Amino acid sequence: MSTQGSVTINKLPTGVPGLDEIVGGGLPEYSFNIVAGAPGSGKTTLAHQFVFANATPERPALYFTVLGESAIKMLRYQQQYTFFDPSRLPDTIRFINLSQIVLEKDLGAVLEEITREVEKANPAVVVVDSFRTMVRKPQSDMDLQSFIQRLALFLASWQATTFLIGEYAEDELRDNPIFTVADGLFWLHQIAERNSIVRKLQIIKLRGQESVPGLHTFRITNAGVQAFSRTFGLTARKRNPPGKRRLSFGIPELDKMLDGGVREGDSVLIAGSSGTGKSVLATQFIAEGVQQGEPGIVAVFEERPEAYAERANSLGLDLETPQKDGKLSILYLRPLDLSVDETMQSILDAVQKIGAKRLVIDSLAGFEMALSPGFRADFRESLYRMIFALTGIGVTILSTVEVDESFTEFPFSTYSISFLCDDILRLRYVSIDGQLRKIMVVIKMRGGNHAKDIREYEITSKGVVILGKRLTEYQGLISGIPVHSDRPGPEESSPETGIEHRT
Amino acid sequence: MTIRLETREQARRLLIYESEAGNSSEPGASPTLRVYEKLRRNLAAFAGVAGFYSLASRALAQARSDVPGFSEARVTEDGTLQGLGEIEHQIDFDKGAGGKPPSEAGIILIARLLGLVHIFLGEALTANLLRGTWPGSALDDCKSEKGRNA
């Protein structure tokens, strides 16, 4: 399709962090939009953010309030948001109340008043809040449709970008003539999930540009509405080709088992039961990265960053200095009603801020518990999106996951997420000679040769130390209860002695 | 609830301004009623008539406890002030009297109204709204020494 000579539609900033990406770069100029949702879903706040982002003294914003929330109370509360700048009222942003006209007259008079004010002010932005209260008065559908069409036509001709705000239930979406007139239809959902509230935003339609489909999480904080795109804002970015570099754990024997280290841009899973040293390995991985000049992020869910750094210190790993130098960031993602998208945004912000190359998520179980119950059901799908997005920009992710120790099977993860991981390292306890010892094995390594050796290791004051012997005199090690074989004693371990294979 | 000094000063300055302006523009109206009417138009434009009515009714009720002479006064549905009765004479005392101090009753009524607007909208937004109606000279910083002594 030729675009030569086609009209250019300017995109206006929404003023809502994350929403520009969702709507395809910004809101089409002169579009006629409806923001719908239940009371308390954030409609007014979203409209205010758009108004404050776009109104100028030359092209102000007109904010018509109708029945419903008192304008004075609305302004009282809206002032609490950081984006609200009172100095811009009333010259740049003007609030006009239409209640009396709505109560005493008909829709024609309302249109007449809006027309009069628009012609007087030449606004860039017009908001009618709440538009729904205006149309609840008894009148024919034809009156209403005619009113909407005339209003849309008039405001577009006057080059105003418009928001009509209305309280609508989802079942009102079908066959509603109002929605057919709109260029953009934004639906804000507020869903109760057990004891948590989950807010979701959907762009049901947006003429003229490609928005990101689906339900996007949003949150309302003292900064107003913040939206989190399902694609984490990474759709426009080119995926990096798989890296060729190998990233070291700082544990030479383990690097050998991994054919030289973890491939850059891989997703690595360390699975093991409690106390097997998953976090220790993760800490060594991130510390080695910092040592090699690769900034890192650690996302922790089960302990505070100070405690995490202190524990690393006891292993001789200094995480304090790189934090001060801006080479390392330990994120404590508060365990309350998180969405994966919010977590991702925090991680992405940190990745961009310090140019992180390595990311540790410690642990997936903690991550899941920090999520709102509604998001836990989609945890796997969310993980997939998150890992795909982050590895796509060249970040190497190491996640830890706790698995129940079983003596009948050898699970890699309780989440069935192994397909999301390029590399899997399994740690487990084994009972040998009256001792509970630890073994590790590389289960999978996509695109690389890895050793098949089952290696014993210990956690010392220097972290994970792989012992120099391959356990050849035992059979059934991965069952956790091996039996001594009649084979000769332990051999010296090396990658050559292990049978290597490509997966 | 007492009236904040700054709010009282703001009311006083608006009354002085209207007192002086009234000599030429609307000599028939009391400065208090002129300030009140401008506030009514200004606030009703964005808060609605009903919104202004609510604020004005509350302000009048508060003013009655300070000035019993307001007992007969009432705010009508469209927000205008009626039934001032005897107090109207007191308010009229400063009618067109440029240079004379505004009446205490007038200051209290306007200050009560401004006080409520402050509570709901905050000082910055209230000041901006007032600037849309009165020139800056009528709204000089009331906290300044100059403002207090004016």
Span A299-340, pLDDT tens digits: 998 888 999 999 999 999 999 999 999 999 999 876 556 677
Establish if A120 touches chain B: CB-CB under 8 angstroms: no
Contact residues, chain B, for A76 at CB < 8 Å: 120-122
- Residues A152-181 have a mean pLDDT of 86
- What is the per-residue pLDDT for A411? 64
- What is the per-residue pLDDT for B144? 45
CA B139 to chain centroid: 13
- Residue type at position A452: K
pLDDT in tens, A345-377: 788 888 889 999 999 999 888 888 877 777 777
* Res. A493: pLDDT tops 50: no
CA distance A33 to A189: 17
- What is the per-residue pLDDT for A291? 94
* Res. B97: pLDDT tops 60: no
* Res. B91: pLDDT tops 60: yes
Contact residues, chain A, for B40 at CB < 8 Å: none
CA distance A18 to A341: 11
pLDDT in tens, A222-235: 999 999 988 776 65
Task: Flag if A72 and B51 touch (Cβ within 8 Å).
Answer: yes
Where does the pLDDT of residue A186 fall: very low under 50, low under 70, confident under 90, or very high at 90 and above? very high
Contact residues, chain A, for B128 at CB < 8 Å: 86-87, 89-91
pLDDT in tens, B36-77: 999 999 999 888 888 899 999 999 999 999 988 888 899 999
Structure tokens at A133: 């209260």
Picking from B48, B125, B128, the nearest residue to A100 by CB comes out as: B48
The proportion of chain A whose per-residue pLDDT surpasses 90, expressed as a percent, equals: 47
CA distances A416 to A364, A384, A407, A420, A475, Å, are 12, 11, 19, 9, 27
Closest listed residue to residue A14, CA positions, set A92, A91, A125 = A125
Task: Flag if A97 and B129 touch (Cβ within 8 Å).
Answer: no
Mean pLDDT of chain A: 85
**Exposed / middle / buried, residue A257 (Cβ in 10 Å: 0-12, 13-18, 19+):** buried
* A344-366 core/surface letters (b: 16 or more CB in 10 A; e: else): bbbbbebbeebebbbbbbbbbbb
* Res. A201: pLDDT tops 60: yes
- Residues A136-142 have a mean pLDDT of 58
* Res. A484: pLDDT tops 50: yes
Task: Flag if A89 and B128 touch (Cβ within 8 Å).
Answer: yes
- What is the per-residue pLDDT for A354? 93
- What is the per-residue pLDDT for B9? 93
* Res. B96: pLDDT tops 60: no
Where does the pLDDT of residue A179 fall: very low under 50, low under 70, confident under 90, or very high at 90 and above? confident
Q: Which of A72, A96, A100 to mutate to test the interface with B (most CBs of B within 10 A)?
A: A72
What 3-state class would DSSP assign to A295?
coil
- Contact partners, residue A341, CB within 8 Å, separation at least 6: A216, A217, A228, A229, A230, A232, A382
- On whether the pTM is more than 0.80, the answer is no
CB A347 within 8 Å of CB A341: no
Contact residues, chain A, for B45 at CB < 8 Å: 95-97
- For A:49-108, CB contacts with B below 8 A are 65, 70-73, 75-76, 79, 86-87, 89-91, 94-100
- What is the per-residue pLDDT for A499? 34
The residue ranking higher by pLDDT, A273 or B146, is: A273
CA atoms within 13 A on the CB side of A159: 7
User: Can you give the length of chain A in residues?
Assistant: 503
pLDDT in tens, A165-177: 988 887 777 777 7
- What is the per-residue pLDDT for A494? 43
- Contact partners, residue B88, CB within 8 Å, separation at least 6: B30
**Exposed / middle / buried, residue A11 (Cβ in 10 Å: 0-12, 13-18, 19+):** middle
- What is the per-residue pLDDT for A369? 80
Closest listed residue to residue A316, CA positions, set A251, A257, A360 = A251
pLDDT in tens, A243-266: 678 999 999 999 999 999 999 999
- What is the per-residue pLDDT for A501? 35
**Nearest-Cα residue of chain B relative to residue A65:** B46
Contact residues, chain B, for A79 at CB < 8 Å: 121-122, 125
Task: Flag if A71 and B124 touch (Cβ within 8 Å).
Answer: no
- What is the per-residue pLDDT for A198? 82
- What is the per-residue pLDDT for B58? 93
- Distance in Å, alpha carbon of B16 to nearest chain A alpha carbon: 24
| Residue whose structure tokens are 């084979």 | A487
- What is the per-residue pLDDT for A452? 86
* Res. A130: pLDDT tops 90: no
Note the helical H segments in A158-239: 177-181
Instruction: Tell me which DSSP letter residue A123 carries.
Output: -
Instruction: Tell me which DSSP letter residue A236 carries.
Output: T
Q: Which of A74, A92, A93, A97 to mutate to test the interface with B (most CBs of B within 10 A)?
A: A97
* Res. A67: pLDDT tops 80: no
* Res. B146: pLDDT tops 50: no
Q: Which of A91-100, A416-425, A448-457, B140-149 has the highest mean pLDDT?
A: A91-100
* Res. B12: pLDDT tops 90: yes
- What is the per-residue pLDDT for A409? 59
* Res. A410: pLDDT tops 80: no
Q: How many CB pairs under 8 A join A and B?
A: 60
Beta bridge partners of A441: A426
Where does the pLDDT of residue A495 fall: very low under 50, low under 70, confident under 90, or very high at 90 and above? very low
Residue A238 sits at φ, ψ, to 5 deg, of -75, 135
Task: Flag if B125 and A96 touch (Cβ within 8 Å).
Answer: no
Where does the pLDDT of residue A8 fall: very low under 50, low under 70, confident under 90, or very high at 90 and above? confident
The residue ranking higher by pLDDT, A443 or A60, is: A60
What is the pairing mode between strands A296-300 and A328-332? Answer: parallel
Contact residues, chain B, for A68 at CB < 8 Å: none
* Res. B87: pLDDT tops 90: no
* Res. A281: pLDDT tops 70: yes
- Tell me, what's the ipTM? 0.76
- Distance in Å, alpha carbon of B88 to nearest chain A alpha carbon: 29
Picking from B45, B121, B128, the nearest residue to A87 by CB comes out as: B128
Q: Which of A213-217, A390-394, B27-31 has the highest mean pLDDT?
A: A213-217
- What is the per-residue pLDDT for A498? 38
